[in-house]
Structure 1
Amino acid sequence: MERLAEWDVDTVFGMPGDGINGIMEGLRRHRDRVRFVLVHHEEAAAFMATGYAKATGRIGVCLATSGPGGIHLLNGLYDAKLDHAPVLAITGMQETSVLGTAYQQEVHLDRLFEDVAEYNMMISNPAQLPSLVDVAIRTAYARRGVAHLTIPNDVQVADAGAEPYQSLGPVRPPRTAPVYLRGSGLPRPEDLEWAAEVLNGAARPAMLVGAGALHARDEVLAVAEALGAPVVKTLPGKAVIPDDSPYTTGGIGLLGTLPSEELMEEADVLLMVGTNFPYTKYLPEPGKARVVQFEADPARAGTRIATDVPVVCDAKEGLRELLPLLTPRNGNAHLAKYQEKMVKWRGDMDTLENAERDPIAPQYAVSVLDELAAGDAILTCDSGTIATWAARHWTIRDEREFYLSGTLASMAPGLPYAIAMQHAHPGRQVIAYVGDGGFAMLMAEFLTAAQHRLPVKVIVNNNNSLGQILWEQMVLGYPEHGVRYPEPEADFSTWARACGGFGAKVGKAADLAPAISQALAHDGPALVDVDVNPNEPPMPGKVSYEQAKNFAQAFLRGQPHKAAIATTLWKDRIQRLGD
C-alpha cells in the first residue's frame, strides 16, 4: 500500500474476502493515503478501475479475493486490455504450503490471467513486493494494459521486507517519486515528410480519429481545416471534436452515419489518428485509397488496412509537427459536399426525436437528456441499442465526455464507469445511460453509489428486452427468439428509492423532462427508468440489400411482433419525409 501511494494511487476498488485479509489490513493502516471503495460485485470493481483509468489517464486499481473473486474480475479486465487502459489487478492466493493440493478456492490466478495481463506475477517472497509493484505499474502504463499481482496469504501477513531465503542481495527499489511512463511521442521527420506528401496530393481526403486523439482536439481541427478533410469519429473517440463541428461527419460503422459511410467509399486518402478501428468492412476497399496512420504503438500500425505511411507517434505531438508541412486549401468543394450531407442527416435525426410518439421513442429520451445535461457532463454507456441512441443523439459540445466498452463491447460497465468517474471528478455531472438488461446485471452498484454518497445519475432505457440482439437476429433473417423478457417489466425506480436515492418511473413523454430535471438536480444518486418503444430499430446509416432482404425474410418466417415493428418503421419513415 505504501508503494501504491508513492505511485499516486489514491483509490482501490474491490471486495474483501478471506484470501486477501492481509492486504485489507494494509489498506486499513494506510486509509489516510489510499481510499478503499467497497463494491457489491468484483466485476464492477474491475470496470470501475477501467473507467477510472479512461477518465483520468492514471492507473486504476482493483482488488479481489482468491478463487471466485479473482475470476469475477476478468470481464472488466478484458475491457481494459482491449481499450488500452492502464489497470492493476491485485488478487489473493492460498498459502504457499498448500498450493498444489486442490485446497479450497485454489485457483492459480496467475495462469488464468495469462492472456489478459501484460505483466502477471505471483509473489513468493515479501522482499519482492516493492520492486514488483514498480514493474507492474510501469508495464501497465508503458503498454497501456493490465498488470496482475497475486499474493498468497502467508506472504500477505509476513513482515514487510522479510527475506526467508538466501538471496542474491538486498532489493533496492528506487525511492524517488515515480512518474507516469510515456515514451517520446515525436514522429520521425522523414515519416512526417512522407505523410505530408501523400496528404497534400489528396483530392478527396478523409480523417478517421479515435480514443487515442481525445487529448488532441485543437490539432485534429487544425489539420482538418488545412486539408479540407471531413472527420469521421469512432465511438470511443466521439469526444475528440464537437458533434456540431463543420468538419465532422459523425460516427462510423453500424452505429454511424450515412455521410461517414459515403465518405469512406469516396475518399482517395485516409488519415487515421489514434485509432485501430477493428471493423474493416467500413474502411475503404483495398487499393481504393492511400492510408496514413498516426499510431502510438508500432505493433498496431498498419494492422487493419494496407497502410502507405505508418507514423509512430503520439496523436497530439504528431499532428502538431505535421501541420506546418501541409498546404492549406481554400474553397474546398469536397468538404462542402459533406457539410451539406450532414445538414440532411442531422435533420433526419431531429425528426426521430419526436415527443408525440407513444410509446416513448428512445431517440426522444436521449434528446431530452442531451438538452438538460451540463456542458461538462460525462456520459457513460452500456452496449446494445442504447449505444446507437447515444452515438446519434448525445451531443459532444463544450467539455463533454463519453465512455463505453469499445472493443470488448461488454454489457454492464455503464454504472461502474460512472461511479469511478464521479469519484475521480466530484465536481462534475456524471450520467450512466444504460439498458434494462445491462443495469440488471450490476444494479447492486447503485447501492454502492448511495453508500459512498456519489451523486451519479442513471437513465435506464427500458425496452424489457435485449434489443440489439433482437435486431441482429432479424438482420440475419431469423425470427426473434429468447430476446424479450416476460412481463411484467421491471421498475428499477423502486430499487433506487430503496437504496436511499431518487427514483422515477416514466411511461409518458410529457413526464420525461420533469423527471430528468429532478434527477439531475438531486444532490445524491438518482435514477430515471424510462419505458421506451421496444420495437424501435437501431438502423445502420446505410442499409445493404442483404440486410434488407434478411429483415424481410424474418417477417415472413413468423416474426411475432411484426405489426408493431412495421408500424414503428412506417412512422419513422413518414416523419422523415414529412419534415
Structure 2
Amino acid sequence: MSDTATLSPPARPQDPVNAGQPLPLAQRTAAQFIVEQLRLWKVERIYGVIGDANLSLLDELGKQNAIRYVPCRHEGGAALMASAEAKLTGRLAVCLATSGPGIANMLNGLADAAQDRSPVFVLAGQVDTSKYGTRAKQYIDQQKLCAAVSGRSELLAHPEALPQLMEQLLVHSAAQGQVTLLSVPKDLYASLVAGEPAPYGSHLYQPLYAADTETEELAQLLSAAQRPVLLIGRGVASVREQVRAAAEQLNAAVVTTLPARPLFPNDHELYAGGLGQAGSEASSVLLAEADVIVMLGATWWPEDYVPVQARIVQVDKNREALGIGHPLHKGIVGDLSQIMPKLSERLNAASSQDRSPWLARIKETTAKWKRQIETEASGDGTPIPPQRIMKLIAEQASDDAVIAIDTGDVTLWFNRIFQAKPSQDILVSGRWRTLGFALPAAIAAQLAYPNRQVIAIAGDGGAVQTMMEFQTAVEQQLPIVWIVCNNGAYAMEKHRMEAAGMSTLGSVIRNPDFALMAQACGGTGMKAATVDELAQQLQQALGSRKPVLIEAATACIPVPHTKI
C-alpha cells in the first residue's frame, strides 16, 4: 500500500477548512488534564481538604511534584489561604473541596477573595453524574450555592468540555480578578479527555493604556490645585517611586489604605497616615481641607471619611472600582505603570504652584499626630496596652516581613500605630473583614515566600475561628509567628455596644489556653503578661524559625472615635 493511500480525501471547496482532519487523541484522564493544565499556568500550590468526591484528583496530585498540595484542617481556611496568596503575589491561586459541605465550608474564604478582587480558581468535587439533581448524600447545586461569590461557575457535564471550560475559567479569574468554580462529578475524573492543555497567554498581563488626553487633564488639575492629596492603594506597588516623586513635586499630602502602608515612607514629612478610624486623625484633617484628591490604585470605602468639598479623581485599571462610595469628578481607566511616567513628564513641564502654606499645614498636622501616637505607644502595664504591642512588632519585624492582620480592634490599633517599612507586605481582609483571616494568610505567605519573615496578628475572637490551621503550619514546617492579643472579648463589638448604652451580651468570651493549644498542635506556645516578656518572647520566636504562638495579655480599651 502506498503512503498516499492512508491520507484523508481532500476537502471539497464548500467544506469547512478543517473537514477531514483527524480528531485529537484522548490521552489523559480528566484528573490528569486538570493537573497538567494548572502546571502550565504555573500554579505552585493547591489548598484543600480531602473528601469522597476529590479522591481521584488527589491521587494524581500525589504522583507529581510540580504542584504542592497543602492539606488544611478546614475548607474555609483553605480558601482564605488561596485568597491571601492571590493578594500577595498577584497570581492565580487554587483551592480544592469535596462536594456539598466541603464547598459550603469554603464560602467565607471565597467571599474574602471576591470582595478584594483576588483571582482564585476553585475545584470542587461533585456527586456522580447519575445522581446529579437527586437526593443523593452531599449533593447540592454548587453553582447556585456559590453564585454570590463567583464571577463564573460551571459544572463539567462531559469530559470533552473540560479543555474549554478550564481555560475559560482560568482566564476569567486572571483577567477579572474574580473567583471561578469548576464542579467535577467524581465519576468523570477517570474519563479520557481529548485535546491539549493550554498555557496562559502573555496578553492577559498586557497593561491597559489610557489616552494621553486623560493624563494631560489630570496633570492640569493637579498643577492648579492648592491643597492636593494623593490617596494610594496597593495598586501603586509597581510605581511607588514615581508616586513619591509626584507627591514631593506637588507638596501633596499622602494617605494610604492599610495594605498600601509600606508603599510610601511612613517617616516622610508628606505622609499623613492611614485612612478612616483605623488610620490617623491627621489624614482625616487633611482630607477635609483638600481641594483635589487623586486616588491611585485604591478603592474608597469608609463613608464617614469622604470629604464633600474636594474634586476626586480616581485612577484604576478596574473600571468597576471607579466611584464606589464617593463622588467622582473624573475617572481614568488605565494601568499606573503606563500613566505615572506620562503624568510625571507633564507635571515637570507645568508651571509650579507655590504650595508652601499647604506644606506647612501638612508638616504641622502630621507632626502633631506622630507625637500623639508615640505617647500612646509608650504605655506600660499589665495587661499590655494594644498600642505598645503594635510598636513592639514594628520594632522587631524584619525589613521585608509579611504581616497578616486579623479583623477587629487589632486591625484598628495596627493601622493607628504600626510604622511600616518599604519592603514589607501587609495582608488584610479588606472588604469582607472576616474573623480568622490572619493565620491562614500567614501560612500562604510563608509558602509563597519561604525566606521571608511572616507574622500573624489576631485578637482572641479571630484566633479561635481558624486556630486549628496552626497544626497545618506545624505539619508544613512553616516558621510563622502568631501573636494572639487576648483581651477576653470581642472588643470592637463590646466597645460599640458600650458607646451606645447597650447591653454587652455576647461580647465577653471565655478563651482556651492558647499557648497550650499551640503546643498540642506540635508547635511552640508562649505567654506574655508584660511588655518586657513580650519583647523577649517576640525576639526569641522570630529567631527560632519554628511555628510559634505568643499569647499576649492585652488591655481591653476602646479605639478612639468608637461608635455603633
**Does TM, scored on the shorter chain, surpass 0.5?**
yes
Equivalent of 2:50 in 16, 30, 37: 16
**Counterpart-to-counterpart distance in 1, 2:151 and 2:458:** 30
Could you tell which deviates more after superposition, 467-476 or 174-183? 174-183
The equivalent residue for 1:116 is: 149
Q: Are 1:305 and 2:329 counterparts? A: no
Q: CA deviation at 1:205?
A: 0.8
Q: TM-score, normalised by structure 1?
A: 0.88
The equivalent residue for 1:567 is: none
Q: CA deviation at 1:410?
A: 0.7
The equivalent residue for 1:395 is: 419
- Verify the 8 A CA contact 1:214 1:239 in the aligned structure 2: no
Q: Are 1:336 and 2:360 counterparts? A: yes
The equivalent residue for 1:152 is: 185
- Verify the 8 A CA contact 2:44 2:67 in the aligned structure 1: yes
**Counterpart-to-counterpart distance in 1, 2:502 and 2:41:** 52
The equivalent residue for 2:63 is: 29
The equivalent residue for 1:5 is: 39
**Counterpart-to-counterpart distance in 2, 1:492 and 1:12:** 28
- Verify the 8 A CA contact 1:191 1:309 in the aligned structure 2: no
Q: CA deviation at 1:254?
A: 1.5
**Counterpart-to-counterpart distance in 2, 1:123 and 1:18:** 17
Q: CA deviation at 1:45?
A: 0.2
- Verify the 8 A CA contact 1:141 1:181 in the aligned structure 2: yes
Q: Are 1:125 and 2:158 counterparts? A: yes
Q: CA deviation at 1:181?
A: 1.8
The equivalent residue for 1:420 is: 444
- Verify the 8 A CA contact 2:401 2:452 in the aligned structure 1: yes
| Bigger Rg, which one | 2
The equivalent residue for 1:506 is: 528
SS at structure 2 position matched to 1:503: strand
Q: CA deviation at 1:500?
A: 2.4
Equivalent of 1:325 in 314, 325, 346: 346
- 1:137-157 superposed Cα distances (whole Å, 9 cap, x missing partner): 111011111111110111112
Q: How many residues align?
A: 527
SS at structure 1 position matched to 2:95: strand
The equivalent residue for 1:219 is: 242
Q: CA deviation at 1:305?
A: 2.5
- Verify the 8 A CA contact 2:163 2:197 in the aligned structure 1: no
SS at structure 2 position matched to 1:29: coil
**Counterpart-to-counterpart distance in 2, 1:175 and 1:356:** 59
Q: Are 1:383 and 2:416 counterparts? A: no
Equivalent of 2:257 in 234, 239, 257: 234
**Counterpart-to-counterpart distance in 2, 1:528 and 1:62:** 29
**Counterpart-to-counterpart distance in 2, 1:526 and 1:478:** 38
The equivalent residue for 2:20 is: none
Could you tell which deviates more after superposition, 471-480 or 100-109? 471-480
The code of the aligned residue for 2:376 comes to L
Could you tell which deviates more after superposition, 419-428 or 115-124? 115-124
- Verify the 8 A CA contact 1:375 1:398 in the aligned structure 2: yes
Could you tell which deviates more after superposition, 52-61 or 304-313? 304-313
The equivalent residue for 1:350 is: 374
The code of the aligned residue for 2:37 comes to R
Identity over the aligned pairs, expressed in percent?
32
Q: CA deviation at 1:498?
A: 2.1
SS at structure 2 position matched to 1:265: helix
Superposed CA RMSD in Å reads 1.7
The code of the aligned residue for 1:202 comes to A
Matches within 5 A, 1:465-504: 465-486=489-510, 489-504=511-526
The code of the aligned residue for 1:192 comes to T
Q: CA deviation at 1:173?
A: 5.5
The code of the aligned residue for 2:518 comes to A
**Counterpart-to-counterpart distance in 2, 1:249 and 1:371:** 20
- Verify the 8 A CA contact 2:159 2:188 in the aligned structure 1: yes
Matches within 5 A, 1:244-323: 244-285=267-308, 288-323=309-344
- Verify the 8 A CA contact 2:49 2:96 in the aligned structure 1: yes
Could you tell which deviates more after superposition, 234-243 or 413-422? 234-243
The code of the aligned residue for 2:53 comes to G
Q: CA deviation at 1:263?
A: 1.2
Q: CA deviation at 1:243?
A: 1.6
**Counterpart-to-counterpart distance in 2, 1:175 and 1:405:** 32
Q: CA deviation at 1:220?
A: 1.4
**Counterpart-to-counterpart distance in 2, 1:107 and 1:528:** 41
SS at structure 2 position matched to 1:237: helix
Q: Are 1:461 and 2:482 counterparts? A: no
- Verify the 8 A CA contact 2:479 2:545 in the aligned structure 1: yes
Task: Identify if the C-alpha distance between structure 1 residues 251 and 425 changes in structure 2 by more than 3 Å, giving closer, same or farther.
Answer: same
Q: Are 1:142 and 2:175 counterparts? A: yes
Q: CA deviation at 1:17?
A: 0.2
Q: Are 1:105 and 2:138 counterparts? A: yes
- 1:262-298 superposed Cα distances (whole Å, 9 cap, x missing partner): 112111111011112122331111xx21121101112
- Verify the 8 A CA contact 1:221 1:247 in the aligned structure 2: no
**Counterpart-to-counterpart distance in 1, 2:264 and 2:279:** 15
Could you tell which deviates more after superposition, 138-147 or 470-479? 470-479
Task: Identify if the C-alpha distance between structure 1 residues 197 and 20 changes in structure 2 by more than 3 Å, giving closer, same or farther.
Answer: same
**Counterpart-to-counterpart distance in 2, 1:160 and 1:186:** 39
SS at structure 2 position matched to 1:20: helix
- 1:57-93 superposed Cα distances (whole Å, 9 cap, x missing partner): 1111000000000001111111111111110011011
The code of the aligned residue for 1:531 comes to A
The runs of 5 or more residues in structure 1 that have no matched partner are 162-171, 551-579
SS at structure 2 position matched to 1:434: strand
- 1:24-70 superposed Cα distances (whole Å, 9 cap, x missing partner): 1221223x111100010000000000111111111110000000000
**Counterpart-to-counterpart distance in 2, 1:175 and 1:490:** 49
**Counterpart-to-counterpart distance in 1, 2:49 and 2:197:** 30
- Verify the 8 A CA contact 2:223 2:353 in the aligned structure 1: no
The equivalent residue for 1:564 is: none
- Verify the 8 A CA contact 1:7 1:179 in the aligned structure 2: no
**Counterpart-to-counterpart distance in 1, 2:500 and 2:190:** 56
Q: CA deviation at 1:100?
A: 1.8
Q: CA deviation at 1:330?
A: 5.7
Q: TM-score, normalised by structure 2?
A: 0.90
